[in-house]
Amino acid sequence: MSKNVEGKIAFVTGGATGMCLAAAKRSAREGMDHVFIKGRRKDTLDAVIADIGKNVTAVQGDVANLSDIDRSFDTVKSTIAAVGAANSNQLPEHGAAS
């Protein structure tokens, strides 16, 4: 994976188990701004989120269900908007131009 992942997000389907879990963990470890992990089982997702820690969001649902896909998209949009607003509020503190 490229080390140039700053400012990027990952959305990993099936990310609570197996190879996709490894990809989600590596994305977080390599410095992605945020990692979204989609899976069907809440208990498994909760354990993964606790293990990975910060900058990760669980999105429960099934990719075969269209309403779950719509809800997933809404979760990503609202989370990224909230993260962006928080980062924007911090920028002047760090000397960046507004």
- What string of DSSP letters covers 21-85? HHHHHHHHHTT-SEEEEEES-HHHHHHHHHHH-SSEEEEES-TT-HHHHHHHHHHHHHHHHHHHH
Tell me the mean pLDDT in the region 12-32: 92
**Residue 23, domain CATH:** 3.40.50.720
Q: Which pLDDT score, from 0 to 100, does residue 98 have? A: 38
Q: Please, are residues 28 and 78 in contact by the beta-carbon 8 Å criterion?
A: no
In which domain, by residue range, is 26 found?
9-87
**Domain count for the chain:** 1
pTM: 0.77
- Let me know if residue 2 belongs to a domain: no
Q: What is the pLDDT of residues 36-90, one digit of tens each?
A: 999 999 999 999 999 998 899 999 999 899 999 999 989 998 988 776 554 433 4
Q: Is residue 28 part of a domain?
A: yes
